[in-house]
Amino acid sequence: MTDDGVGLLLVGIALVIGSTRVAAILLVRFGQPPVIAEIIAGIALGPTLLGALPGDPSSALFTPEVRDAMAAIGTVGLVVFVFLIGLELDGRQVRQHERVVAAISAGGVVVPFALGLGLAVSLHDGHRFVGGEEVPLLPFALFLATAMSITAFPVLTRIVVDRGLERTPLGQVATASAAVQDLAGWLLLAVSLAALTGDGASDLLLTVAESVVFVAVAMLVVKPALRRWLARRQPGAEVRMETVAVALALLAACSGATQLIGLHAVLGAFVAGLAFPRERRDLVVPLRQALAPITLGALLPIFFVGPGLATDFGTVGQSGGWEVLAIIGCACAGKLVGVIVPARATGASTADAAALGVLLNTRGLMELIVLNVGLTAGLLDQGLFSSMVLMTLVTTMMTGPLLDLLARRRASPLWEVSPAPRASPGR
């Protein structure tokens, strides 16, 4: 990279971080989560706003060289973030409400996935060519259906905590269901990418087999080895530094492995988070504290400049407003019906079932990550990508106001605060 390129890169990074923080300060007054600020800031720096000014400042600042460098930096932030998501998943929440979580998770994935398949069939003809290459119907349909099934686990947990619901059955069920649905979403994403990269049935089976072997080695070999290693460590600053180094090495190895398999680095990062032992709280908590601030405050916003620069709402009008309405309608209907019906069947009141549906309809960060994977893999064209980003904005921004409306009717036991859980050894 030239000296001018380095200068533009640093200016671009400063602009991304600064605009994200300003947007977050403004939007928090409207009860919107930080992810909305990151999405809007990224879009504002792209062709929709900054690029529409005279001289196209967006293209002048974010040259192809700068975009490539930012993509590399943002990918590092992305895989660290997904690693932290995997690290946060707690199987105890699933087991505590396993019957209702199982019902809601199944409905919250199957119904939107089925609607997504039908939507993909109707949209495929208009979006079958991406970059001059034809996208087969199978991977296109699998990917779009997967995108419809996603729930933003990190955004949902943030909303639950901000509203003081983390100790209520409602908050616990919503959080556990989001974790299960996101796990299913990652698996479905792997299948759709395998269907795209495989040249035939044998290649697809090989990719699936390599993925299964990778997960088995991570969970059955690496995780027990790390657990034994952590058990022998004594508390101290030096050991905490060692833990961060080992975690980053595990993250890089797993992310690289899935990338080489032909999937995406985020899948390996998620498995790395699941594989890292959580028994030593004195080491795991400092690990989160060391990685989360720079990841959420700087690296992840840099990642969002990529989708933001690729989002041009001018192309949405060209593809037809009915597509946007169909996408938003399918996304909301799939999650609301898929969650409310099983929630009511397992004993929740109408208001509480609706609250669960609204929470699990939140897309946020995870949806953007999946969409970015589809864009870089050549599964989505510019118009459809922008329409899906618009759906992400709508489904995330509607969560807070709808919860406020439903909270006025919270009269059932599902909203009551549960007793504080007893701390378990090593947690």
Query: 63-85 pLDDT, tens per residue?
Result: 888 888 888 888 888 889 888 87
Residue 99, in any domain of the structure: yes
Q: Sign of the CA dihedral 60, 61, 62, 64? A: positive
CATH number for the domain including 192? 1.20.1530.20
Residue 15, in any domain of the structure: no
Residue 39, in any domain of the structure: no
- Mean pLDDT value across residues 323-348: 91
Which pLDDT score is estimated for 356? Answer: 92
Which tens digits make up the pLDDT trace of 227-273?
Answer: 998 888 877 777 788 889 999 999 999 999 988 887 778 778 888 98
Residue 166, in any domain of the structure: yes
Number of domains observed in the structure of the chain? 1
Which pLDDT score is estimated for 154? Answer: 67
Judge whether residue 427 has pLDDT over 60: no
Which pLDDT score is estimated for 218? Answer: 93
The per-residue DSSP string of 225-247 comes to HHHHHHHTPPSSHHHHHHHHHHH
Residue 316, in any domain of the structure: no
- Mean pLDDT value across residues 395-413: 75
Which pLDDT score is estimated for 339? Answer: 93
Which tens digits make up the pLDDT trace of 17-60?
Answer: 888 888 888 887 777 777 677 777 877 887 778 877 888 888 88
Which tens digits make up the pLDDT trace of 303-332?
Answer: 777 766 767 666 665 556 788 899 999 999
Quick one: pLDDT band at residue 413, thresholds 50, 70, 90? very low
Q: Smallest Cα–Cα separation from 404: which of 366, 354, 369?
A: 354
Residue 223, in any domain of the structure: yes
List the structure tokens of 190. 């792997």
Quick one: pLDDT band at residue 415, thresholds 50, 70, 90? very low
Radius of gyration, alpha carbons of the chain: 21
Q: Which residue has the higher pLDDT, 385 or 161?
A: 385
- Mean pLDDT value across residues 323-345: 92
Residue 425, in any domain of the structure: no
Name the average pLDDT for the chain.
81
Which tens digits make up the pLDDT trace of 181-223?
Answer: 877 887 788 788 777 776 555 666 777 788 889 989 999 999 9
Residue 374, in any domain of the structure: yes
Specify whether the CB–CB gap between 333 and 2 falls below 8 A: no
Domain encompassing residue 396: 89-299+321-410
Quick one: pLDDT band at residue 166, thresholds 50, 70, 90? low
- Per-residue DSSP letter, 376: H
As a 3-state breakdown, the chain gives helix, strand, coil percent values, each rounded to 5, of: 80, 0, 20
Instruction: Give the whole-number percent of the chain exceeding pLDDT 90.
Output: 20
Q: Which residue has the higher pLDDT, 126 or 86?
A: 126
